C-alpha cells in the first residue's frame, strides 16, 4: 500500500479471493490464496488494490514465480521449462516480451566512459543480426532484430553520445559511417582479429589463383603453412615456405604483407605502428599486382581506425565470446524461428543474476 496519510484513502471493498502460483517444491506447485483489499482516494475517487508489489494485475504468477520462470528459461528451451514448471509457451513468451525490451541500456552510470563493440552473427542461415557490447565493463546492452544500419543507428542513438569514447568494429564501411554519424566524437577502432583475418583471406585467395593457373600440371600448393605466422614455424617449415615463394613469385607480395600486418600488432606504441603501416601501404601501392594495389588502398582508407587500436588496445574479443555463447544458446533452444523471440531469448542469457531477470 502506498505511503499516504490515512486520511487520504479509505477501505473501499474486498477483492474476490484468488490463487496465484508462487513457487515450486519437489516438483509440485505452491499456490498463494490472496485476500486483498481495494482502497479509494477521497479526493479523486481513484481505486487501487494492495499487494501490487507481490503480483501484477490479472497475472496468475507472483513476481517471484515470474523471476524463477525466467531464470529457468535463461539456459533451457521453452519445452523443458514448460515440462518442469507447468507454465505454457504462451505465458513464457509474454513474460519474456514484457521483461526484455530494447530501452536505453541500464548499465550506464554517471561519469562512466563507454567503449562499445559491434559485431554480427547469424540468426538463421544468411540472416544476420548485430550484437552490441560494452567491452570494458563486459556487458551486453543489446542484441538487435537484424543487421540493418537504420536499426543499429536507432539503438545507438539511445546511448549518451558524450560518454562513448571508442567503438570497435570490423572492416565494414556501413558500420563505420553509422558510428561516425551517431558518435562524432568517438574513436573508431578496427578489431585486430578482423585485420589479420582479412590478410589471411587475401593470402589464401592468391594461393588458390596461383594453384588454378597450374591446374593442368596438377599442382597442389599447401594452405595452412602460408596462414600460420612465420614466428610460429619451425626452421624446416620456414625453408619450405621460402622454397614455395621462389617457385611461385606471385605469392611473395601477399605473404610479405600478411607477415608485416602481424608484425604491426606487436609494435610497442602508436608511433612505431604508424611508421610500419605507412611502409606497408607504400609498398602495396607501388606493386605491379592490381590486387595488391587495392589492398593498399583499403589499408589507407582504414589507416586511422587501425592505428586507434594502439591508444587503449581495445578489441572485440569479448563481443566474439558473446557470439560464441549465443551459438550455444541457439543449440540449447533447438533454433528459434521468430526473430522477436530470438533476440529477447539471447539477451536473457546474459542476465547476470536471478534478481536481474525481472523488475519490481
Check whether 266 has a pLDDT greater than 70: yes
Domains of the chain, residue spans: 6-99, 114-191+315-355, 192-312
CB-based burial of residue 218 (10 Å sphere; 0-12 exposed, 13-18 middle, 19+ buried)? exposed
pTM value is 0.84
CATH number of 114-191+315-355: 3.30.420.10
pLDDT at 2: 46
Over residues 199-219, mean pLDDT: 86
Split at pLDDT 50, 70, 90, the class of 175 is: very high
Split at pLDDT 50, 70, 90, the class of 179 is: very high
Q: Which residues partner with 143 through β-bridges?
A: 131
Check whether 199 has a pLDDT greater than 70: yes
Check whether 245 has a pLDDT greater than 50: yes
- Bridge-based pairing state of the strands 187-190 and 127-134: unpaired
Q: What is the largest CA-CA distance in the chain?
A: 99
pLDDT digits 0-9 by tens, 86-132: 999 999 999 998 888 765 455 565 567 899 999 999 998 889 999 99
pLDDT at 309: 97
pLDDT digits 0-9 by tens, 6-47: 567 767 777 788 888 888 888 889 988 888 777 777 777 777
Mean pLDDT of the chain: 88
Over residues 252-261, mean pLDDT: 96
Nearest C-alpha neighbor of 182 from the set 118, 232, 227: 118
**Which position has the grid cell 514484457?**
98
Amino acid at each position: 500500500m502506498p505511503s499516504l496519510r490515512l486520511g487520504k484513502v479509505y477501505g473501499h471493498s474486498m477483492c474476490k479471493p484468488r490463487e496465484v502460483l508462487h513457487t515450486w517444491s519437489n516438483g509440485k506447485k505452491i499456490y498463494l490464496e490472496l485476500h486483498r483489499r481495494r482502497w479509494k482516494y477521497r479526493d479523486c475517487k481513484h481505486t487501487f488494490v494492495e499487494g501490487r508489489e507481490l503480483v501484477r494485475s490479472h497475472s496468475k504468477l507472483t513476481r517471484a514465480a515470474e523471476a524463477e520462470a525466467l531464470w529457468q528459461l535463461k539456459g533451457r528451451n521453452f519445452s523443458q521449462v514448460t515440462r518442469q514448471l507447468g507454465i505454457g509457451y504462451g505465458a513464457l513468451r509474454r513474460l519474456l516480451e514484457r521483461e526484455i525490451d530494447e530501452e536505453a541500456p541500464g548499465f550506464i552510470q554517471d561519469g562512466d566512459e563507454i567503449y562499445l563493440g559491434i559485431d554480427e552473427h547469424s540468426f538463421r542461415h544468411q540472416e544476420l543480426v548485430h550484437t552490441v557490447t560494452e567491452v570494458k565493463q563486459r556487458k551486453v546492452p543489446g542484441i538487435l532484430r537484424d543487421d540493418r544500419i537504420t536499426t543499429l543507428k536507432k539503438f545507438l542513438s539511445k546511448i549518451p553520445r558524450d560518454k562513448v569514447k571508442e567503438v570497435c568494429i570490423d572492416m565494414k564501411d556501413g558500420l563505420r559511417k553509422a558510428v561516425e554519424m551517431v558518435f562524432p566524437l568517438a574513436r573508431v577502432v578496427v578489431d585486430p582479429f578482423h585485420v589479420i583475418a582479412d590478410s589471411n583471406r587475401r593470402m589464401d585467395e592468391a594461393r588458390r589463383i596461383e594453384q588454378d593457373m597450374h591446374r593442368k600440371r596438377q599442382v597442389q600448393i599447401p594452405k595452412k603453412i602460408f596462414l600460420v605466422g612465420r614466428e610460429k614455424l619451425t626452421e624446416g617449415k620456414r625453408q619450405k615456405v621460402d622454397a614455395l615463394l621462389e617457385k611461385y613469385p606471385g605469392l611473395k607480395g601477399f605473404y610479405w604483407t600478411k607477415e608485416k600486418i602481424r608484425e604491426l600488432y606487436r609494435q610497442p606504441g602508436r608511433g612505431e605502428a604508424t611508421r610500419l603501416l605507412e611502409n606497408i601501404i607504400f609498398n602495396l601501392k607501388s606493386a605491379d599486382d592490381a590486387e595488391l594495389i587495392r589492398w593498399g588502398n583499403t589499408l589507407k582508407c582504414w589507416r586511422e581506425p587501425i592505428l586507434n587500436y594502439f591508444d587503449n588496445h581495445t578489441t572485440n574479443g569479448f563481443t566474439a565470446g558473446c557470439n560464441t555463447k549465443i551459438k550455444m544458446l541457439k543449440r540449447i533452444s533447438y533454433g528459434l524461428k521468430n526473430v522477436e523471440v530470438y533476440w529477447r531469448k539471447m539477451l536473457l542469457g546474459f542476465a547476470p543474476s536471478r534478481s536481474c531477470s525481472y523488475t519490481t
